[in-house]
Chains A and B, each alone.
Chain A
Amino acid sequence: MTVAPTTELSRLLREDFDGVLDAWFATQKREGVRRPDLFSDRESRRQLSDLLRAFAEVLARIDITEPVDIEADVWSELRLALSEITLVRTERGVAPWEMTAFILALKQPVFVKLNESLSGTPDRLLSIAADFGRIVDALAMHINEYFIAERDEIIERQRAEMMELSTPVVQLWERVLTIPLIGTLDSMRAQEVMENLLNSIVEHSAEVVIVDITGVRVVDTQVAQHLLRTAAAVRLMGAEAIISGISPKIAQTMVELGVDVGEVTTRPSIRAALAEAFRRVGFQISRIEDSRV
């Protein structure tokens, strides 16, 4: 009577658990992914033994000739063990590729052990080894996905943080506000800018708002439209917008694009815009007499 392929594997893990563990550990050492600088042998062995035990339990309950579905319930224990160990190892500085190699290192020792017990039946050996390889690959892929998901989350969080940071409205003087824009003014940012600005106008009873685009590299038709709409909304609130920081390059490009700023006041620099703002709210800057500069 032939033994089912899955049983063959799970028997190997049950009867020679320590042997497989030792061989896995040795392969990791040889491939340089054990990281003795970050983990003691005892810690590493405990991680491997947790994984291997969870793995053996899954093998006892699945048919390895079937397609692998790591997301299925039967894998939940192993998934958990895998995420925990991945988290612990990466927190101490293990690279994603090392973590993948860490798992893939299980293949070779199991192949060797299967070869010992199944050398008489090469067909069976090949098919079990192939199925086992497929499962280990799926685990390695699962780890990769984990890394990608984690990285995406960080990027998304940083984006959100940057968004918050990038639209500060600053009061320069009584009734004079400025909003320095930096980087990209996409629709979402433009909406933020508009909201912040309009609220601040009410809050500070502002009469003049300087929208500074020195830090905006490209003014295409969409950015121009956002700027002009913002200026129009500011005007509806009873204030005046001055767009400052239009460089010669951007001015030429805007003309070629056919963008007409209409009646919106523009100034080449924030300094020129500030002088204009002061004039409008009835202040002037003058040099103190007797001062030596």
Chain B
Amino acid sequence: MSAPPAEPAARIELRQERDVAAARIAVSRAMDAMGARALRKTRFVTAVSEIARNALDHGGGGVLEVYRLERPLRIMIRCRDEGPGIADLDQAMTDGFSTARSMGKGLGGARRLVEAFRIESRPGSGTTVEMEAKP
């Protein structure tokens, strides 16, 4: 994935469950500052919640950075973890597939909720997810 264009507007270390809430709040604030529409905010923040929790539960923790992109104005997040990685991305993106006892709709759901979704993962070298949306 290419280097992010600017300094992040926020950076959250994901170490425990409450950090997922902190990530939601940070993204929510960044979108408020962009004058985002309520529905778009709910959708993007929900997607962020899924991705941040994945990094925590499956990646053993990670870092989430929030970026404000200009021309056209967009919100972007990049979430990195140093976990075991995902062996089969297609399978992981499929609804109903879960290695934990969860719904297995997090990744696929997050992709449907945002406008741009990129995921990069190799077994043993962690997972990086980038998501973008209009405000």
Stretch touching chain A among B3-11, B102-110, B127-135 = B102-110
Stretch at the interface among B14-22, B60-68, B79-87: B14-22
Count how many pairs of residues, one from A and one from B, have CB atoms less than 8 Å apart in the complex: 66
> Which residue of A184, A225, A248, A250 is within 8 Å of B21 (Cβ)?
A184
A219 within 8 A of B: yes
Residue B24 interfacial (CB < 8 Å): yes
> Do A253 and B49 touch (CB < 8 A)?
no
Q: Does B20 contact A221, Cβ atoms closer than 8 Å?
A: no
Given A218-B42, A253-B113, 9 other A-B residues pairs in contact with their CB atoms under 8 A:
A186-B18, A188-B17, A221-B106, A256-B43, A257-B46, A257-B105, A257-B113, A258-B95, A259-B103
**In the complex, A253 Cα to B105 Cα: how many Å?**
12
User: For A218, what are the chain B residues with a Cβ–Cβ distance below 8 Å?
Assistant: 24, 42, 45-46, 49
Q: Is A249 an interface residue (CB 8 A)?
A: yes
The reply to whether the CB of B53 lies closer than 8 angstroms to some CB of chain A is: yes
For chain A residues 214-239, which have a beta carbon within 8 Å of chain B?
Answer: 217-222, 224-225
- A31-42 CB contact bits vs B (8 Å, 1 = yes)? 000000000000
Contact status A249-B42, CB under 8 Å: yes
Is A187 at the interface (CB under 8 A from chain B)?
yes
On chain A, the residues within 8 Å of B18 by CB distance are 184, 186
Main secondary structure of the interface of A (DSSP, over half): helix
Contact with A along B18-58 (1 / 0, CB 8 A): 10110010001000000000110011011001100100000
- Interface residue tally of chain A, by bracket? 20 to 34
**Is chain B's binding surface mostly helix, strand, loop or mixed?**
helix
Per-residue contact bits, chain B 106-129, to A (CB 8 Å; 1 contact, 0 not): 101100110000000000000000
Which of B42, B53, B95, B102 is A253 in contact with, Cβ under 8 Å?
A: B42
B102 touching A221 by the CB < 8 A rule?
A: yes
Q: Is there an interface contact between A258 and B102, defined as CB atoms closer than 8 Å?
A: no
Cα distance A188–B103 when bound, in Å?
A: 18
- Distance between B54 CB and nearest chain A CB, rounded to angstroms: 10
State whether A222 and B109 are in contact (beta carbons under 8 Å apart), knowing that A186-B18, A186-B21, A249-B42 are contacts in the complex.
no
Chain B CB within 10 Å, residue with most, of A186, A217, A218, A249: A218
- In the complex, the chain B residue whose C-beta lies closest to that of A188 is B17
